[in-house]
Amino acid sequence: MPEKFSNREPYQQAYYPPAPTRFTRFMRTCVAWQFIRFLVINFRILKLMSKSHH
């Protein structure tokens, strides 16, 4: 009969997601960067739509 293993440690550090770095937090809150990403994504969508509509 196989042995039953029990994990006595409820939560290990590896279970938690990594905290964002200062640069990551800055990029998430920077309005200028968000505007640039908005333009890039919209351009990509327009390019995709122009290819599909002959």
The range of the structural domain enclosing residue 36 comes to: 30-54
Task: Note whether residue 46 is domain-resident.
Answer: yes
pTM comes to: 0.58
37-46 pLDDT, tens digit per residue, is 999 999 999 9
Task: Note whether residue 35 is domain-resident.
Answer: yes
Task: Note whether residue 25 is domain-resident.
Answer: no
Task: Report the pLDDT value the prediction gives residue 17, as an integer from 0 to 100.
Answer: 83
Q: What are the C-alpha distances in Å from 12 to residues 4, 15, 19, 24?
A: 20, 6, 15, 24
Q: Phi/psi at 39 (nearest 5 deg)? A: -65, -45
1-54 pLDDT, tens digit per residue, is 566 766 666 677 677 888 999 999 999 999 999 999 999 999 999 999 999 876
Give the count of domains, the chain: 1
Cα 7 from chain centroid (whole Å): 30
Task: Note whether residue 24 is domain-resident.
Answer: no
Task: Note whether residue 14 is domain-resident.
Answer: no
Give the DSSP H or E segment for 27.
Answer: helix 22-29
Task: Report the pLDDT value the prediction gives residue 44, as an integer from 0 to 100.
Answer: 97
- Give the tokens for residue 3: 């042995």
